[in-house]
Structure 1
Amino acid sequence: MTKRIMRERSLRTSAMAGAIACSVGCGPAEDGTASASGATGVTGVTGVTQGNTQGSMTGVTGVTGESTGTDSDSGVPTSSGGVATDDPTAGVTSNDSSSPKLDLAMADFGAPPTGDGCTKVDFLFVLDNSISMGDEQQNLANSFPGFISTIQSQVQAQDYHIMVIDTDDQDKWGEKWDKCHEKCMTDDPGDGCLTVYFPDIICGMEPPPPEPCDQSLGAGRNKGAGGPPVECPVDGGLRYMTQDQADLPGAFDCVANMGATGNSNERPAEALLTALGPQTQAGGCHPGFLRDDAVLVVTMISDEQENGSPGTPQSWYDDLLALKGGNETAIVMLSLNGDAETMGQECIPTAKMVEFVGYFGDRGIIDSICAPDYSPFFQEAVGVIDYACDEFVPPG
């Protein structure tokens, strides 16, 4: 099995800040507004020409190189340039551990593994459930069977925990019923609830009392979209799946298609840290999900800026690292994020998420959520996971 990953489209940990060429985006923003600015000059794969990312993106060229602007959201210097080089260390690098480990060249995993290797992997999918995310949820579900099949055939670890969480703490069934009840005040109580988003709710129905974990941030999901919610066939009454799950692709499809009725103020970073902190402890919603002797693979999927979580990308990284005992070899960070603000006319990177993923260095990959198929992204991620598994140094 080769350990040299020549990833021509990544690592994207900083290159994503301007390197995605958008001619067709994900669709309108949730507020329905439009913008006149646009993306121009995208000619390369890695190497970023970037000024202030709040406006339009211009002049993405070259392979590596560096000039500096400022990211208006995070204040982190951005890099750009158009000087081609074969030096794999060229680009933006830093010996300061407090800065993102950004590398605009191809990652070289040619050195032999130095760790003990892993036998377990914990997969956490942090999935935006706001109104614009229906297609993306289905895209993830469609890509999962090929992803997990490749993991099973290429990665030495065969003991898995697999969990999906959303990005808010609201009880969706209760919200649906409230909307339906308002409509039913003027409709025949025997008719269906005549609303655009909730056609499956019947007038006069009382919602069942929600389970506490169904309205807890960071809780693993065991239900799909619907009113009432669909009970997903997750074995053992758990809120995460294992390698022994019956019909693993089918169960994953059910929990990943969670519906798009969540709060538009997404909190993916807070949900991530809550899921791996209090929720995985005794008394939490999914105790035992996070294991000290497993590699953690996080996939964060959202088409909006991260604006709701407290803290900064640096503090999110520090807190996540602490949850894995300070072991940098124990985490792989994958991210699919929005790159089109409105009507497919503007490429704007999600600056905070780009910075966050950047701290993971060669173990971080970021790509466009607007891609029509996530399979290439996940197939590429397998190589990173495989190498991370080989490099893993278990605690103790």
Structure 2
Amino acid sequence: MMPLRSSLSCVAALAVLLVACGDDGRANTSATAGSSVSTISGSTGETQSPTSSTGGLTDASSEPVSSSEPPTTSGSTTDAPTSSSTSGASTTDATDSGVSASTGTTAVGPEGCKQVDFLFVIDNSVSMENEQTALTMAFPGFIDTIKNTLPTSDYHIMVADTDAEGRCAPGICTHSTCQAQMKYACKDIFSECDTTRGAGVVHPAGEFASNMPCDFDPGKRYLLGEDLALTSNFQCAAKVGTAGNGSERPMDGMVEAVSPALLAPGACNEGFLRDAAILVVTFISDDANVEDMNTAQQTYDAIVAAKGGDVDKIVMLGLIPGDVGCGGGGKHWADMIALFGPRGIKGSVCAPEFNTFFQDAVNTILDTCVINPG
């Protein structure tokens, strides 16, 4: 790990996220340029230019997860450029980064956070196939950059979906999205947590899903940073498929994922959220409609409450439609992101790739880590 000094070099590079068009027959749209990224001021809603870098991630070499077996290859990492901090922390030259010239490895320094909890909330409606594939391909580069930038490798990584209720269950499997893998999603082999929105995904099923139990540690619905198969296991879970209900509710999903009900002893997400960790939430959806039951303010309040009222421990990343360059709608999501101030970042869900979005976001994640020493 890279030692962090009071003067920091913010190194950035990141991966992707995804979502497609809504579930009401809207057509997919694609941007012709890289992802549009904006940091939003919580007090005024004014868009600010984020700190960005020009190098960093390359496309991951791994193939997207198939319906029968997740990939096992991991993406490569390129050297990330030096850029200025978005939170006012001073920077040093890249030569002070602590990277070993002979091995390319980094040593963990005494400064910064000691734990990071990553929550990915992924739209699993019928329009999401391409976006889920893009996310799984981008993840290896993102996590490699995080490992080479943050002063800790103690991560929890959990995937949740936006499903209010699935289309597929024993006795109700007439929808086309239920037919994959000999109606795998219709078998009576799933636990209650497998069909609960906000619960960590470990057994995605339906069309374009992994259609298999992912290889998580027994009893856990989240991955650990030390997992030797971290990339392939994340890719398995992130292929949540397209059999989710057409009512796409990412704000509800994230609120429920960190709710006392799901974090309680014996509950689905027990152990995921830690008091000392910073929380990085990434959500992706393209729905032009307002389906969430929670408002922007209610979502913000619930996420901050889950972190003991400390908003400075939260980074909120959203790939959404609307004023970031594609489609309509998404204002309620943009409003929620804006409430997190400089640690709320929005990007275009229609971007052809999400690497640029995550590259820019790494600076904010690092800054948040620096001001929250463990």
- When the two structures are superposed, what TM-score results if normalisation uses the length of structure 1? 0.67
8 Å CA contact 2:296–2:335 kept in 1: the answer is yes
Structure 1 counterpart of 2:87, from 109, 132, 157: 109
Provide the C-alpha distance between the structure 1 equivalents of 2:40 and 2:131, rounded to a whole number of angstroms: 31
CA distance in 2, matches of 1:310, 1:220: 20
Once residues 174 and 133 of structure 1 are traced to their aligned partners in structure 2, the CA distance between those partners, rounded to angstroms, is 20
Alpha-carbon RMSD across the aligned residues, in angstroms, is: 3.6
Letter in 2 for 1:315: Q
C-alpha distance in 2 between matches for 1:176 and 1:260: 19
Q: Does 2:349 align with 1:356?
A: no
Q: Hey, what does 1:211 align to over in structure 2?
A: 191
Name which of structure 1's ranges 244-253 and 104-113 shifts more when overlaid on structure 2. 104-113
CA distance in 1, matches of 2:123, 2:20: 15
Work out which of the residue numbers 216, 233, 242 in structure 1 matches 2:224.
242
2:24 aligned to which of 23, 31, 49:
31
Decide which of 264, 273, 288 is 1:281's aligned counterpart: 264
SS at match of 1:234: coil
Gaps of 5+ in 1: 8-25, 39-44, 48-90, 181-194
> Letter of the aligned partner of 1:229 in structure 2?
N
Q: Pick closer, same or farther for the CA change 1:175–1:145 going to 2, 3 Å.
A: farther
Structure with greater contact order relative to length (CA < 8 Å, sep ≥ 6): 2
Which amino acid is 1:139 matched to?
A: A
Question: What are the equivalent positions in structure 2 for 1:86-235 lying under 5 Å apart?
Answer: 99=43, 102-106=46-50, 108-112=86-90, 117-171=112-166, 173-174=168-169, 178-179=173-174, 198-201=179-182, 207-226=187-206, 229-235=211-217
| Equivalent in 288, 291, 294 of residue 308 of structure 1 | 291
Contact 2:320 / 2:348 at 8 angstroms: preserved in 1? yes
Contact conserved, 1:126 with 1:167, CA < 8 A, in 2? yes
The CA distance in 1 between the partners of 2:119 and 2:186, in whole Å, is 33
Q: What SS is found at the alignment partner of 1:264?
A: coil
Tell me how many residue pairs correspond in the alignment: 302
Match of 2:248 among 242, 261, 266: 266
Q: Which residue in 1 is equivalent to 2:15?
A: none
Counterpart residue number, 2:300: 317
Distance (Å, rounded) in 2 between the aligned partners of 1:218 and 1:28: 21
Q: Which amino acid aligns with 2:182?
A: I
In the alignment, is the contact (CA less than 8 A) between 1:100 and 1:359 conserved in 2? Answer: no
By how many angstroms is 1:312 displaced? 1.8
Give me the whole-angstrom Cα distance separating, in 2, the residues matched to 1:243 and 1:312: 32
Alpha-carbon separation, structure 2, partners of 1:92 and 1:202:
43
1-structure distance, mates of 2:171, 2:126: 13
- Aligned pairs (5 A) from 1:318-357: 318-339=301-322, 347-357=327-337
Alignment deviations for residues 182-218 of structure 1 (CA, whole Å, 9 cap, x no partner): xxxxxxxxxxxxx576242269x97224311011121
Distance 2:194 2:20 in 1: 29
Q: 5+ unaligned residues in a row in structure 2: which ranges? A: 13-18, 30-35, 52-85, 92-109
CA contact (8 A) 1:129 1:260 kept: yes
Q: Percent identity?
A: 35
Equivalence for 1:378: 358
TM-score when normalising by structure 2: 0.71
| Corresponding residue SS for 2:173 | helix
- The one-letter code matched in structure 1 to 2:202 is N
Return the alpha-carbon distance in structure 2 between the equivalents of residues 363 and 201 of structure 1: 44
Distance 1:250 1:351, change over 3 A: same
Q: Matched residues in 1 for 2:177 and 2:204: separation?
A: 19
Return the alpha-carbon distance in structure 2 between the equivalents of residues 143 and 176 of structure 1: 37
